[in-house]
Amino acid sequence: MVVTLAASCTTETRRPASSAWVVTPDGIGAIRVGMTADELRRAVGDIPGANSTADCSYVRPSGAPAGVAVMLARGQVARVDIDSAGVSSDAGVAVGDSAAKVAEAYATRVRATPHKYLPGGQYLTVRSASPADSLRRMVFETENGRVTRFRAGRVPEVEWVERCG
């Protein structure tokens, strides 16, 4: 399945400072897992290409930092994906950081598994700090010992390797 990421055509869009947007297992900044597409629009502005009826689609909200994509599953925010430097997790981990930094930052909450497509790569999956919340995760993808992208959200969508696949 091929998924097209919608992009904003507006060059005048003002983006907030990335420091205001910290990724947690529940989302990023004002974007929260479980929000409807309408709630997402109210929180971060225009969401070009949003499809509230699709089983799965991606949008890049105009009000979010560069490199942030949001997965909508059946009209609700299911996860957020970070694919470039400049946005950090709640423990300060960002694209380009070492896998060792992820392991140190999340200690007992991280589990490493082999990457499906990259020999030597890994998925470093971090459980929520709240024992009551077993359905939220952050997943850091690594290659050559460095974080190449990461995502946060609810199970099962946050664990999907092929995004909407």
Sheet arrangement for strand 22-24: 31-32, 27-28, 22-24, 88-89
Is the bond into 156 cis (omega within 30 degrees of 0)?
yes
End-to-end CA distance of the chain: 6
Average pLDDT value for residue range 13-37: 81
Task: Say how far residue 136 (Cα) sits from the centre of its chain.
Answer: 12
List the structure tokens of 68. 């942030």
Q: Which of 14-23, 35-44, 48-57, 98-107 shows the lowest per-residue confidence on average (mean pLDDT)? A: 14-23
For the chain, the structural domain boundaries read: 18-82, 88-159
One-letter amino acid at 36 equals T
Interstrand relation of 136-143 and 122-127 (parallel, antiparallel or unpaired)? antiparallel
pLDDT at 1 over 70: no
Per-residue pLDDT at 107: 92
Instruction: Give domain 88-159's CATH number out of 1.10.3470, 3.30.1450, 2.60.40, 3.80.10.
Output: 3.30.1450
CA atoms within 13 A on the CB side of 149: 12
pLDDT band at 19 (very low <50, low <70, confident <90, very high): low
Cα distances from 163 to residues 52, 68, 101, 105, 130, in angstroms, run: 17, 14, 25, 25, 25
Per the confidence metrics, is the pTM higher than 0.75?
Answer: yes
pLDDT at 126: 97
Backbone torsions φ then ψ of 67, nearest 5 degrees: 90, 0
pLDDT tens-digit map of 116-144: 999 999 999 999 888 888 899 999 999 99
Residue from 1, 141, 117, 137 nearest 57 by CA: 1
